[in-house]
Chain A
Amino acid sequence: EAGVAQSPRYKIIEKRQSVAFWCNPISGHATLYWYQQILGQGPKLLIQFQNNGVVDDSQLPKDRFSAERLKGVDSTLKIQPAKLEDSAVYLCASSGTSGGRETQYFGPGTRLLVL
């Protein structure tokens, strides 16, 4: 079974520029998550989708961050304009059932550096 795919793996931009990340979840997984992980911290949930609907985006900085999952499969996360403090790893995860319980699986992440 293929895992969660993300691209690009690395991105360097200057502040005030825009950037977009792409995620393809595990086949059949209806729930998709975007996390932000700052160095030395645990992942922080930005947004959660169930199929193509948003379940929770309460921690998404909506003045600069946006995300969509138009066909209920792939998702994109965009930052416009980027700030220095957005430098982090952006992790996409999808969830499925394992051992009768729902479990999240992470993609390799996109490492963003804002200069």
Chain B
Amino acid sequence: QKEVEQNSGPLSVPEGAIASLNCTYSDRGSQSFFWYRQYSGKSPELIMFIYSNGDKEDGRFTAQLNKASQYVSLLIRDSQPSDSATYLCAVKDSSGSARQLTFGSGTQLTVLP
């Protein structure tokens, strides 16, 4: 069974610091990786996706992918209290045309003012 593992947290960082969120996955053939942000009581919102090894930057967010280690991370620079949310890592199934996402359980991030 395909698994996506995240530290559940909570992770607390001071405002302005770098928040580092980590995710490992079991399916070596996975091709696409997504980070969703979910505020309490809200639905998941896509913030980043990455397909190639290395780093991908978008504003204050950087996604890092290492397929050999089956590891994907999300860095949030200059963290703001508004970044406080649960961050879900999702991995797209590599098999056939199903195009399904398998989600981790999420890491709860709190940015302290």
Q: Interface of A with B (CB < 8 Å)? A: 31, 33, 40-45, 48, 50, 55-56, 89, 91, 95, 99, 101-109
Q: Are the C-beta atoms of A43 and B49 separated by less than 8 Å?
A: no
Complex Cα spacing A95 to B51, Å = 17
Determine chain A's interface SS by DSSP, over half rule: strand
Q: How many A-B residue pairs have CB under 8 A?
A: 53
Complex Cα spacing A31 to B92, Å = 14
Q: Are the C-beta atoms of B49 and A103 separated by less than 8 Å?
A: yes
Q: Which of A42, A50, A95 has the most CB of B within 10 A?
A: A42
Q: Are the C-beta atoms of B43 and A91 separated by less than 8 Å?
A: yes
Answer yes or no: B103 CB below 8 A from chain A CBs: yes
Given A99-B49, A103-B49, output 17 extra A-B contacts at Cβ < 8 Å.
A41-B106, A42-B4, A42-B88, A42-B90, A43-B44, A44-B103, A45-B100, A45-B101, A48-B99, A56-B100, A89-B43, A91-B44, A95-B99, A101-B49, A104-B34, A106-B36, A107-B43
Task: Name the interface residues of B1-32: CB closer than 8 Å to any CB of A.
Answer: 4, 8, 32
